[in-house]
Amino acid sequence: MASTLTAAPSDRSNIGPMIIIGVLFFIYGFVTWLNGPLTIFVKLAFNLDDVSAFLIPVAFYLSYFVLALPSAAILKRTGMKRGMALGLFVMAIGAVLFGEFINIRMYHGALVGLFVIGAGLSLLQTASNPYISILGPIDSAAQRIAFMGICNKFAGFLAPFVFGALVLTGIETLDQQVKAAPTPAAADALLNSFAARVYWPYMVMAALLVVLAIWVVRSSLPEIKPAGANDEHAIGHSGRSIFSFPHLWLGVLCLFLYVGVEVMAGDAIGIYGQGFGLPLDATKHFTAYTMFGMLLGYIVGLLLIPRFVSQQRYLAVSAVLGVLFALGAFVTHGYLSVAFVAALGFANAMMWPAIFPLAIKGLGGHTEVGSALLVMGIVGGALIPQVFVHLKEVIDFQLAFLLVMAPCYLYILYYGLRGHRVGQHPAG
């Protein structure tokens, strides 16, 4: 039976648990960052406009909002370790549903499958993010989460290429064949064959998720009780309710906006590139370039935090870079503009690793609920891209992109400079 820890373990004892959690971050990074190429896939497979295609991130990220608090309640009963395994099982069920519904070209059913995958990820993230944050000193949590981020975004970098090779090969030619089909029945036959390409990759993914869940249950991953490892006595809030931590609530909004801009830079970059008339065979890989930028950002963050710069100061610098790169995308065109959008991956990389530990700092027995509230903020990945795709229907898509992104980064800047300290004693 796994040991239970009420305080953060020593650095030497962290290595095994970090490897296990790193594998989990790799898996759900791969699953999450399939949404970019999936959006391009469903747009062709189901003959959708941009607004309808962007229901992919809506279904995926909305589940976080709906199920994060129930996930916290589940974790109170199961513990973090078994909760992570349960999340993997739920993801496997979602992968089967998604593959089955795509295979019969039932778009709304496929969205249900994505929602279920997101439900499993909601449970997994509600457990794993605070786990890795309090596995060691909270002030160096951004460094540990950055290591997890490298696992996550390396998977995200691979996902578009793997999905492209298995599913999107020849998509430009297929699009032309569908448009040139002599009858609607002929076009449907082509699209049925195209949609069926997704089935077996998702069945294999489901099987791997089940195997991984069994591995986690049988692993030596220790339990950590947040009440001991992240005690609110350190900041003078003993016995208070969850509403007495304003830095948490400001952090929820910050994470909501952050996930929105992360999804815009990662999942929306393909649709953004199509706005310039760039070919489908090129745009299907654009998400990978954003992920590469995030990988670089995580490596830089690992080197700098906390040795040379605090996680909150680095968050502020990252927000400034976000504004500058968004402006760069607006004043340029074509591949250069797309490159600025991909560079937002670098700016975004260390935001989650900084926001999450800053927001849960000192919550003690409220850590699970605080984590769940932050995970609910992931719904920003559903709503903010929807603002963009609706806005670009009435104004230039580059201006729409800037108007969505810049205010988000400005608020993140505020949180890095001031918001994370509100209500804390002493200042964080």
Residue 143 near residue 349, CB atoms below 8 Å: no
β-pair type (223-224, 4-5): parallel
Predicted TM-score (pTM) above 0.85: no
Please report, for the chain, the start and end positions of each structural domain, with discontinuous segments joined by +. 4-421
* pLDDT for position 412: 97
Please list, in sequence order, all residues whose beta carbon lies within 8 angstroms of the beta carbon of residue 396, skipping any fewer than 6 positions away.
none
> How far is 391 from 400, CA to CA, in rounded Å?
6
Please list, in sequence order, all residues whose beta carbon lies within 8 angstroms of the beta carbon of residue 320, skipping any fewer than 6 positions away.
409, 413
Q: Give the model confidence (pLDDT) of 262-310 as tens digits.
A: 999 998 999 899 999 998 888 888 999 999 999 899 888 888 877 888 8
Q: Is 208 exposed, middle or buried (0-12, 13-18, 19+ CB in 10 A)?
A: middle
* pLDDT for position 235: 44
* pLDDT for position 226: 54
> How far is 274 from 276, CA to CA, in rounded Å?
5
* pLDDT for position 408: 98
Bridge partner list, 223: 4
* C-alpha separations of 225 from 8, 70, 127, 273, 362 in Å: 9, 18, 11, 46, 13
Q: Which of 84, 103, 72 is nearest to 27 (CA)?
A: 84
Residue 113 near residue 98, CB atoms below 8 Å: yes
> How far is 221 from 217, CA to CA, in rounded Å?
8
Q: Give the model confidence (pLDDT) of 163-206 as tens digits.
A: 989 999 999 899 999 999 999 999 999 999 999 999 999 999 99
Q: Which of 380, 386, 372 is nearest to 411 (CA)?
A: 380
* pLDDT for position 18: 83
> How far is 102 from 197, CA to CA, in rounded Å?
9
* CATH code for the domain defined by 4-421: 1.20.1250.20
- Stretches in the chain below the pLDDT threshold 70: 1-14, 133-134, 136-142, 224-239, 425-428
Bridge partner list, 224: 5
